[in-house]
């Protein structure tokens, strides 16, 4: 019998929402990711200590004050981890620009260039990398510039129709609309539990897919932030789905077929591109999206700060 994971792969490309090399070897995803949260976890995994120690030792020997060396160390660790991941997947590795740059387009572009240069020094071309940016107006503008340079981007922390439309307008390579965090917000607000077919996060991502199809946009839609395998299966047919190791294991242990639940409609007329005031107003009108974007940036920044603290302690 076919496992549900294998059946799911017939409808959507599966991406591993992890930087754990063993999980990537086991589940054979198309793409994978690395970010400060995953790098922080790697400090406590025995298999990564030699890799971490080697990179940090190299940075420690470099000139510069502690702050600049910590920043370089974060970038080097992200890229060396990403480089290891590219050996195990046929596709791309998403590498994150620091959340504290989410409202600075110029700094985000500079950081993206630095990350791509580090990858290229390791013999990994930009075609194997996605630069991951928060879906703020500034992040989307940075992505628009990078895309024109042939540097593809993954716009994350996407919770609103306005964010999705602005990304489509900008010609972004890939967007990651969140499922679980959307549903978390509605569950907290209403006190309800939701079946998959009425799940607010699932319905949101389906609406983004419909918008992508109607506009005939080339942007890849990748459902993210899943809480249950039911949410995953309810989005079978979405271009890509990024799934945690726990849910990959659950799907791999189940036998059965998977029905295609997302169908992209035929292209029609595209809407007029959003202006900055239009984007900010439409996003502002969505209380959930406002709350979750701000919270997501804060959480990513906290993990970045913890990672930087661990590195600073190591560098002494």
Q: What pLDDT sits at residue 22?
A: 84
Q: Is the pLDDT of residue 52 over 90?
A: no
Task: Please report where in the chains the tokens 């922080």 appear, as a residue.
Answer: 40
Percent of the chain with pLDDT strictly greater than 90: 83
Q: What pLDDT sits at residue 120?
A: 97
Catalytic center residues: 132
Band of pLDDT at residue 42, cut at 50, 70 and 90: confident
Tokens standing for 68?
């600049």
What is the value of pTM for the model shown? Answer: 0.95
Distance CA 119, CA 181 (A): 31
Instruction: Say which range, 3-17, 31-45, 158-172, has the weakest mean pLDDT.
Output: 31-45
Nearest to 73 by CA among 52, 44, 93, 94: 52
Band of pLDDT at residue 18, cut at 50, 70 and 90: confident
Three-state secondary structure string covering 253-283: CCECCCCCCCCCCCCCCCCCCCCHHHHHHHH
Q: What pLDDT sits at residue 38?
A: 79
Is residue 27 helix, strand or coil? Answer: helix
Q: What pLDDT sits at residue 233?
A: 98
Nearest to 246 by CA among 229, 224, 222, 259: 229
33 and 82 in contact (C-beta within 8 Å)?
no
Mean pLDDT (the chain) is 94
Q: Is the pLDDT of residue 19 over 80?
A: no
- The arithmetic mean of pLDDT across residues 231-256, rounded, is 96
Q: What pLDDT sits at residue 76?
A: 93
Q: What pLDDT sits at residue 226?
A: 97
Instruction: Say which range, 75-84, 279-288, 289-298, has the weakest mean pLDDT.
Output: 75-84
Residue 153's Cβ-side half-sphere holds a number of Cα atoms within 13 Å equal to: 28
Distance CA 74, CA 307 (A): 8
């Amino acid at each position: 019998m076919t496992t549900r994971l294998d059946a799911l792969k017939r409808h959507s490309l599966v991406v591993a929402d992890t930087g754990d090399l063993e999980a990537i070897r086991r589940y054979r995803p198309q793409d994978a990711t690395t970010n400060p949260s995953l790098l922080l976890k790697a400090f406590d995994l025995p298999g990564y200590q030699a890799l971490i120690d080697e990179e940090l030792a190299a940075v420690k020997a470099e000139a510069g004050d502690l702050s600049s060396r910590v920043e370089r160390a974060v970038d080097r660790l992200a890229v060396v981890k990403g480089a290891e991941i590219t050996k195990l997947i046929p596709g791309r590795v998403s590498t994150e620009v620091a959340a504290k740059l989410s409202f600075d387009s110029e700094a985000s572009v500079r950081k993206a260039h630095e990350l791509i240069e580090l990858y290229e020094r390791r013999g990994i071309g930009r075609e194997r990398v996605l630069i991951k940016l928060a879906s703020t107006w500034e992040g989307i503008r940075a992505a628009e510039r990078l895309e024109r340079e042939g540097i593809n981007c993954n716009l994350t922390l996407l919770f609103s129709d306005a964010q999705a439309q602005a990304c489509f307008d900008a010609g972004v390579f890939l967007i990651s609309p969140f499922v679980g965090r959307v549903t978390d917000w509605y569950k907290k607000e209403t006190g309800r539990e939701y079946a998959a077919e009425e799940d607010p996060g699932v319905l949101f991502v389906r609406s983004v897919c419909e918008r992508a199809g109607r506009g005939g946009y080339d942007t890849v839609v990748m459902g993210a932030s899943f809480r249950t395998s039911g949410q995953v299966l309810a989005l079978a047919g979405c271009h890509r789905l990024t799934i945690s190791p726990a849910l990959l294991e659950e799907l791999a242990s189940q036998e059965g077929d998977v029905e295609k639940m997302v169908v992209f409609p035929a292209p029609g007329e595209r809407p007029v591109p959003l202006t900055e005031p239009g984007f900010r107003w439409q996003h502002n009108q969505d209380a959930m999206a406002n709350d979750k974007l701000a919270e997501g940036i804060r959480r990513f920044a906290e993990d970045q700060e913890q990672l930087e603290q661990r590195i600073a302690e190591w560098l002494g």
